[in-house]
Amino acid sequence: MSEPSTLSVSVLIGHGVVVDRDLLRDLATAEFAAFGIDGVLREPDDFAAALAEAPGAIVALPGPADRSLMTVPGDHTERTVWLDITATVPVDVTDGAEHHQGRGVWGITWAVRRAVHRMRYPARRIAYGPEPDQWGELRLPDGVERLPVAVLLHGGFWRSIWNADLMDALAVDLVARGFATWNVEYRRPDRHGWSNTTADVAAGLAAVGTGELAGLDTSRIVAFGHSASSQLVVRAAADAPETVNLLVSLAGILDLEEGTRRRIGDGAVSAALGGGLSDVPEVYAAADPMRRLPVGVPQVVVQGRQDGPDLVDMSRRYVRAAMEAGDKVELLEPPGNHFDVIDPGSVAWAQTMAAVERMLA
C-alpha cells in the first residue's frame, strides 16, 4: 500500500437536517485534525452544485429536498459517503457511493473516517455471494509474497446501522504490519435473520484462498472480531476450525445465555437470535461461545478495563472455561474502553498485536 496522499474533506449539510451545527463542526474538526487533513463544513443553497464542485472526499447529510440526489451519478459518486444521523429504511445510492444511517450525531465521526480511509487507503471490494451485503474489502501490502491474512468482522450488536467501516483503521494498520486484510461485511439479523448472518460469516471466511483471494497464506489466518462479532468468529471457528489459525476477540460478547439475562445492548442478544434460550434453545447451542468449547483454535481475548463490567466479566469467565476445556487462550486486559481496542494508536492494540505475533511465531 502506497503512502497516504494529500486529501481534503467537504461536509455538506442540507437544509432541514436537525442537528446542532456547532456540535457537528466540533466532531468533524476533531477528525480532520486526527488525520492531519483540511476540512470544511458547508450548508449550501444549491446542494447539487456543491456536490459537483467539492474537491476530495465528501460527507453529505441530505435535507428533505436533497434526497433524490443520492441516486444521481457524477464525478463525486465514488468520493461520497451519504449520512443520515437518524435511522432509516435501506436507502439506494449510486453505485460507488456509500450510505450510513442511524448512528446519531456520532455518525459524523465515522462518516469522515470512512471517507478518508476509502480515498487515502483504497481497497478492492470483492463479492463472496450474490446479496448486496455479501462482500469484503481486500487490502494488500506492497511487494510482499505469501501474505498472512487478517480477517476482520465488525460489531454493533448485530444491528444494520453498523457496517464494516468500523474496522477500517485496523485494516490499514495491519497492512502496514505485512498482513493482507479481508474486511468482511455480512447480512445482519435485524433485517435478514440469524441463519443468514452465520452463513455469511462462514462464507466470508471460506473465501480466503479462493478466487480473487487466492495466493494468500492460508496457514496463517487470524480472525479478529469486535464486540458482537467476537461471538461470530468463535462460532465460525468452532464449526470449521480449518478455516482459521488464530482467533482474536476484541471486547467480545462471549456468553450469550448470560448476555440475554442481563439484557446486554437493550436486549440485543435475544433480538439477534430470534428469542430467549427457552424459545430457541438449538440456536443458542450452536451460537453461544460458552457452549462451543473447546473451539480447538488458539485465541487472544482482549478486554479493556474501562469497558462495561459485564463484558469484563464475560471475557474472564470465558477464558477460564476455554482453558479448562483445553483451548490455548491468552487474556489481555489493557487500559481502555469499548472502542479503544479497535484504535490502532491505543495501548490495547499494541498489546493485542504483540500477543498475535507471539501466537503466530
pLDDT tens digit string along 248-285? 999 999 999 999 999 999 999 999 999 999 999 999 99
Cα separation, 217 vs 246, in Å, equals: 13
* Cα 158 from chain centre: 11
* Opening angle at CA 81, ends 76 and 82, nearest 5: 105
Q: How many Å is the maximal CA-CA distance in the chain?
A: 64
Q: Which domain holds residue 25?
A: 8-118
Give alpha helix (H) positions in 100-255.
107-120, 168-176, 189-192, 194-206, 228-239
* Opening angle at CA 315, ends 311 and 320, nearest 5: 150
Does 294 lie in the same domain as 158?
A: yes
- The phi, psi pair for 318, rounded to 5°, reads -65, -45
Of 212, 230, 97, 92, the residue nearest 166 (C-alpha): 230
CATH of the domain at 45: 3.40.50.9100
Task: Indicate the SS3 state at residue 74.
Answer: coil
The answer as to whether 32 is a domain residue is yes
The CA R_g of the chain, rounded to the nearest whole Å, is 20
Cα separation, 159 vs 268, in Å, equals: 8
Does 154 lie in the same domain as 94?
A: no
* Domain stops at, among 91, 118, 145: 118
- Residue labelled with grid coordinates 445482519: 188
Task: Indicate the SS3 state at residue 129.
Answer: coil
The answer as to whether 113 is a domain residue is yes
Cell numbers given for 63 = 435535507
Q: Is the pLDDT assigned to residue 219 strictly greater than 70? A: yes
Whether the upstream peptide bond of residue 189 has omega within 30° of 0, thus cis, is no
Helix (H) or strand (E) holding 148: none
Q: Which residues of 137-150 are buried (b: 16+ CB within 10 A; e: fewer)?
A: bbbbeeeeeebbbb
The answer as to whether 2 is a domain residue is no
* Domain stops at, among 65, 100, 118: 118
Strands in 299-302's sheet, in edge-to-edge order, are 124-127, 135-139, 180-184, 149-153, 221-226, 246-250, 299-302, 329-332
The answer as to whether 172 is a domain residue is yes
Which residues neighbour 58 within 8 Å (Cβ) at sequence distance 6 or greater? 9, 10, 11, 12, 51, 76, 79, 80, 81, 115
- The phi, psi pair for 302, rounded to 5°, reads -115, 125
Which residues neighbour 80 within 8 Å (Cβ) at sequence distance 6 or greater? 51, 57, 58, 59, 60, 97, 98, 115
Q: Given pLDDT bands bounded at 50, 70 and 90, which one contains residue 351?
A: very high
The answer as to whether 1 is a domain residue is no
Cα separation, 173 vs 170, in Å, equals: 5
Does 179 lie in the same domain as 97?
A: no
Does 173 lie in the same domain as 45?
A: no
Does 197 lie in the same domain as 153?
A: yes
CA neighbours within 13 Å on the CB side: how many for 3?
Answer: 1
pLDDT tens digit string along 11-70? 999 999 999 999 999 999 999 999 999 999 999 999 999 999 999 999 999 999 999 999
Please spell the DSSP secondary structure of 28-57, one letter per residue.
HHHHHHHHT-EEEEE--S-HHHHHHH--SE
Q: Is the pLDDT assigned to residue 299 strictly greater than 70? A: yes
The answer as to whether 178 is a domain residue is yes
Total count of domains within the chain: 2
Does 141 lie in the same domain as 100?
A: no
Of 245, 227, 76, the residue nearest 148 (C-alpha): 245
The predicted pLDDT at position 180 comes to: 96
The answer as to whether 3 is a domain residue is no
Does 144 lie in the same domain as 105?
A: no
Q: Given pLDDT bands bounded at 50, 70 and 90, which one contains residue 89?
A: confident
pLDDT tens digit string along 174-217? 999 999 999 999 999 999 999 999 999 999 999 999 999 998 99
* Domain stops at, among 75, 101, 118: 118
Does 267 lie in the same domain as 232?
A: yes
Does 78 lie in the same domain as 14?
A: yes
Does 269 lie in the same domain as 131?
A: yes
The overall average pLDDT reported for the chain is 96
Does 260 lie in the same domain as 231?
A: yes
Q: How many residues does the chain have?
A: 361
The predicted pLDDT at position 5 comes to: 55
The answer as to whether 257 is a domain residue is yes
Q: Given pLDDT bands bounded at 50, 70 and 90, which one contains residue 135?
A: very high
CATH of the domain at 157: 3.40.50.1820
Does 334 lie in the same domain as 190?
A: yes
Cα separation, 349 vs 274, in Å, equals: 33
The predicted pLDDT at position 69 comes to: 97
